[in-house]
Structure 1
């Protein structure tokens, strides 16, 4: 009887731990009313349902990224997505009042999708487009990685066993992909790495096809070149990763 009770308790604790680290999502949509010649804000992201550490971390990280994207005025003190949307609309109205001849409506769209999930890692991509006047808007992707067991957001230094070794390997792959000679300046074919040396982008995320390195427009090339993307299959990346993934 004692052995049976111990087994039941162990199963209960195992399920409790699994439940603690699991996460499910529901869609969150924040948008402005549709009208002609109006500033548009549309935010569509997954929102974690559970109020666990992991759920709270994911929701807070997504919210923080989007608030920063919508922050045209550095003095804005928006604390949530609804306030960020209203601040974006207010900033447009204020600028249009000062310069009515240049009052082309602004636009901000953000869409979040889960690009990868296993028993340890979950990655969410924020695809955004922001237009606040001028010749063109600015679109980019942002990848956020989370440790499902610890409930923490993972930054670049948290992903690799040896960041320097991975950077060296990534440079070799990058040079091959972009037809850059293996020796000589990384900018030899027209890239714009500062200090003439290869570096990793801030934006790295897990995808089903492999580890994705995303250089934003302007980061290492001209805006016309668009984003520069390097995808390293897990068969090659796993030896460098603290969180290896099955190919």
Structure 2
């Protein structure tokens, strides 16, 4: 019995060593590229010889065991006769986890008393569809959806839109100021230590290239405007 236990422990230890070697090789290879994203986790993918590399943004790439080859794209499982996007499923979960870690104080949040779920929206004050979506925010709240705004000035982190968004985040009442800005009204200039540039970069890493970019609670991306009732239905179905 003792010999069997020792053998089992040795096999487990050997497996850990085998797994550590590819992970170390992949990390070393990626470190040389000076990527803007950091490696969060490395694990075996369902495809033999290919390793799944999760970046801190939530995005996933794949690497060979020695780290010399990288693959970016979707990995599909067709074993049941249907296309199942394994990459999208893994990315959505990681992105959802990443967004849910943003401190609430760094977001502009419109919430009902008893939220059923939430959405995180990368928004711009000058975007027409962002303004249309904001005009329906009370309806979204009534349907149980908490709206968490993150900043994504489309002209970049140093333009006029970015300065306006910094004033919103630094205002005494960010929610009221956000609404005024979305109505096209002039708002008071304000400055403080704010997360606008950081959130813009996070949006870029997540693949945001337009606004509004709506992420449901499970990390699924809804690109562009959808009427409040339709968005609420999708949000409730993707918690």
Which structure: greater helix fraction?
2
Q: Which one has the bigger strand percentage?
A: 1
What range is the shorter-chain TM-score in? under 0.3
TM-score (structure 2 length as normaliser) = 0.27
Greater relative contact order (CA < 8 Å, ≥ 6 in sequence)? 2
- With normalisation by structure 1, the TM-score equals 0.26
